[in-house]
Structure 1
């Protein structure tokens, strides 16, 4: 089953855009910016990194690479960031986009972010695995770990960025998202964010 972008979701995403546009008017320069979908939006960044870093969350639930590229100028330009962390792609798979198309979109997004933030380190976080349990199939939908592995291999080959290979650290012996780290087979729980943060900390030092 493919994902469906509902009018309710679009309204939510547009609201987040407006919130971020307003917030950007008072943003500190040389900050760390996290960009992505729901995994980023619901990431309690201040809890894990806020004491030592000026960090801004620019995640929007449900977005894919097409949405992100379309709205880059709306909420991610002129931020003069020190570091950018990008996690995007799982919703593209959920919507049925091809791996080659996703890679090309990510390349375009990274290129535009680097042009606008010429001194920023751009870090691309690997797409996270999903559960293979039937009980989570309504959330996971058409996403598969084989496709995610293929996509991550393609993303890792993109030049000029730092690729952060998180995915394998969150898997069980079935090559799927470990039940220990998820609440619904797709999104992370507190333990999942604990693990993700441990893996990302070296890249924020």
Structure 2
């Protein structure tokens, strides 16, 4: 019975991994054919970005969502060509939470963000860049994403390094973390139902934190 349970668990994990790869491939292929124009505002990142209808949230038809659930900072670098070729007006980046959960060091994430900034500055110099902090997590009230909750301290450190990078390169750093964290240092339980992803109210708070820069 134990062997059967282990086999079932392994099959489920394998199926989930294949589904994620399929989703990533489909999204990347879609983004390759969708146009990006010089008056567009791009939201780029992982599932936290993917999970919101940004154009509707801001009531702005020029906003385009280029988030992919499960994305990592290094993978994100592989899908910049279409974005850069379109020379968007603004780009809002949030990336890193999946990297940390997979054991990637904060310095490595920051190096990938530096490379993204360098590419835009070289090839799409008029795009205004905004680097957003990684969001807090909440393992105190939830138990679904243990590998993410365990990286809470590294999220703080990564954000510190991202802020320093932005200061060095004179890029705008947006501290969305501070808007969503509670007094215990956790993602406010009112904004999530799993300690990692956001509910509608959480996205509303995120919206208000960056509204002046989007407009």
TM-score (norm 2): 0.86
Runs of at least 4 residues off by over 3 Å: none
Tell me, in whole angstroms, the C-alpha distance in 1 between the residues paired with 2:146 and 2:96. Answer: 13
Does structure 1 residue 60 correspond to structure 2 residue 71?
Answer: no
Unaligned runs of 5+ in 1: none
Tell me, in whole angstroms, the C-alpha distance in 2 between the residues paired with 1:179 and 1:6. Answer: 28
Does structure 1 residue 151 correspond to structure 2 residue 158?
Answer: yes
Does structure 1 residue 122 correspond to structure 2 residue 129?
Answer: yes
Match of 2:38 among 14, 29, 37: 29
Match of 2:202 among 174, 192, 200: 192
- The aligned counterpart of 1:132 is 139
Contact 2:141 2:189 survives alignment (8 Å):
no
Contact 1:181 1:192 survives alignment (8 Å):
yes
Contact 1:126 1:166 survives alignment (8 Å):
yes
- The aligned counterpart of 2:31 is 20
- Paired residues in the alignment total 198
Root mean square deviation of aligned Cα: 1.9
TM-score (norm 1): 0.90
Please report how far the alpha carbon of residue 197 of structure 1 lies from its aligned counterpart in structure 2 after TM superposition.
0.4
Does structure 1 residue 82 correspond to structure 2 residue 93?
Answer: no
Please report how far the alpha carbon of residue 135 of structure 1 lies from its aligned counterpart in structure 2 after TM superposition.
3.0
- The aligned counterpart of 1:10 is 21
Tell me, in whole angstroms, the C-alpha distance in 2 between the residues paired with 1:94 and 1:76. Answer: 27
Unaligned runs of 5+ in 2: 1-12
Q: Which has the higher helix share?
A: 2
Alignment of 1:154-165 (within 5 A): 154-158=161-165, 159-165=169-175
Match of 1:93 among 94, 100, 109: 100
Match of 2:147 among 141, 147, 151: 141
Contact 1:131 1:140 survives alignment (8 Å):
no
